[in-house]
Structure 1
Amino acid sequence: MKSLLKSFTHAFNGLRQMVFAERNFTIHIIVAFVAVAFCFLLQVNDIEFLIVVVCIATVISAEIFNSAVEKLCDFVHPEEHGQIKVIKDLAAAAVLMVALASFIVGVVIFVPKLVDLFF
């Protein structure tokens, strides 16, 4: 039980680090709150809501992994290096792909409901 509590403590420490040290993470959290608000305001169905939640969790997880890769690269090789740049760019590209896919999901779910609401 003690090791489980310790694991959760480490995980929450990581989240706290992300909130206070990573600007992009804060942006993702704000967008997540907006998406959840849209879910309630536009009365999406349960499946649509779960899809939005999975997209949010995936984007946030990708951003956490990206930050971990960046910090590890900086620790292992503090000076600028071509291969380190490639590694960091690849990790950032993964976040971009997940964010773009999630944006498309948001458009597919929210735009028809917004059109119905206003037109």
Structure 2
Amino acid sequence: MKRRSWSLVFRNAAEGIVYGFRTQRNVRVHSGVAVIMCSAGFIFGISRTDWMFVLTAIFLVLVTELMNTAVEAAVDLAHPHIHPLAKAAKDTAAGAVLLAAVFAVVIGCMVFFKPVLHWLGF
């Protein structure tokens, strides 16, 4: 197998991210929520530890979304017709995204609960 240059490796990876952003509504939605959460983090001045949790949650959701996109594309290529195993693969990948999103919501609630209450005057 031919060795590829580092620039080609990074370009291919960037193309995959762009493909996901352009073709997958949920990647765009999660990216928008990520921007909102990062903005809230700056506004509320969350701690370094809270930033680590928030960024971990954000990237976990985005990574699983991109992996879900990859699984769906590979399954569609391998078996374009409805098949129980194709459904299982797609549903399992979507389940991973759901778990990551629930994790992100839990982290968001834990990190932003007190700052939001304080901002509301409670």
- Normalised by the length of structure 2, the TM-score is 0.94
Structure 2 matches for 1:29-108, cutoff 5 A?
A: 29-108=31-110
Q: How far 1:19 sits from its partner (Å)?
A: 1.1
**Deviation string, structure 1 residues 47-69 (Cα, Å, up to 9, x no partner):** 10121111111110000001100
Q: How far 1:27 sits from its partner (Å)?
A: 0.4
RMSD: 0.9
**Deviation string, structure 1 residues 52-102 (Cα, Å, up to 9, x no partner):** 111111110000001100000000000111111111000000000011011
Q: How far 1:113 sits from its partner (Å)?
A: 0.7
Partner amino acid, structure 2, of 1:65: M
Q: Secondary structure at the match of 1:80?
A: coil
Partner amino acid, structure 1, of 2:68: N
Structure 1 unpaired stretches of 5+: none
Query: Matched residues, percent identical?
Result: 28
- Between the aligned partners of 1:20 and 1:117, the Cα distance in structure 2 is 36
- Normalised by the length of structure 1, the TM-score is 0.96
Partner amino acid, structure 2, of 1:33: V
Partner amino acid, structure 2, of 1:110: F
Partner amino acid, structure 1, of 2:26: N
